[in-house]
């Protein structure tokens, strides 16, 4: 899958399927995205390949106080992905993909703060807060996650 910013200055390719796609309804993601939720494809950083341009990184404050960086286009300012801590994983903004419909959410999280007019339906699992990965992730995604974390240590 390929994607990029609004103006086309930065282009990227996902070289593998995401580990999971989160639809996060926390108030922090609402504010950061300027929308009712953030739709993020969680993938290993080395599986996001730049095709054109170079995003700029901006430090963004988090509710936990932990480090978070957003990769943005320096020209149009579109957020492409986020990085928590070390760049082992990226949280790619699904809306920046050329075909965002190809990555529907696997799970809705932090729905305790979802906007009340948003009907989540009954197809995708819904959690008031977070969840146990083993309850949602595919076995191969859990294994890739384990390998990536071990390789970072």
Q: Where are the domains of the chain?
A: 2-152
- Among residues 140, 122, 12, the alpha carbon closest in space to that of 78 is found at 12
Mean pLDDT along residues 15-28: 96
Q: Alpha-carbon distance 99 to 92, whole Å? A: 13
pLDDT tens digits, one per residue of 33-57 = 889 999 999 999 999 999 999 999 9
pLDDT tens digits, one per residue of 111-139 = 999 999 999 988 899 999 999 999 999 99
CATH architecture of the domain with range 2-152? Alpha-Beta Complex (3.90)
- Which sign does the torsion angle of CA 118, 111, 59, 55 carry? negative
Mean pLDDT along residues 19-37: 93
| Residues near 73 by beta carbon (within 8 Å), at least 6 away in sequence | 5, 6, 7, 9, 10, 53, 55, 56, 80
How many Å separate Cα 104 from the centre of its chain?
Answer: 12
Query: Length of the chain, please?
Result: 153
pTM, whole model, 2 decimals? 0.92
């Amino acid at each position: 899958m390929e994607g990029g910013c609004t103006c086309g200055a930065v282009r990227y390719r996902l070289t593998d399927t995401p580990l999971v796609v989160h639809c996060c309804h926390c108030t922090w993601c609402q504010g950061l995205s300027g929308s009712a939720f953030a739709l993020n494809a969680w993938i290993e950083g080395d599986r996001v390949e730049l095709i054109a341009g170079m995003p700029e990184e901006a430090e963004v404050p988090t509710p936990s106080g932990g480090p978070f960086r957003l990769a943005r286009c320096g020209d149009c300012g579109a957020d492409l992905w986020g990085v928590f801590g070390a760049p082992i994983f990226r949280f790619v903004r699904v809306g920046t993909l050329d075909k965002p419909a190809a990555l529907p959410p696997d799970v809705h999280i932090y729905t305790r703060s979802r906007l009340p007019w948003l009907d989540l339906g009954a197809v995708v699992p819904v959690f008031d807060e977070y969840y146990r990965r083993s309850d949602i992730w595919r076995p191969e995604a859990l294994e890739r996650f384990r390998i990536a974390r071990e390789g970072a240590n």
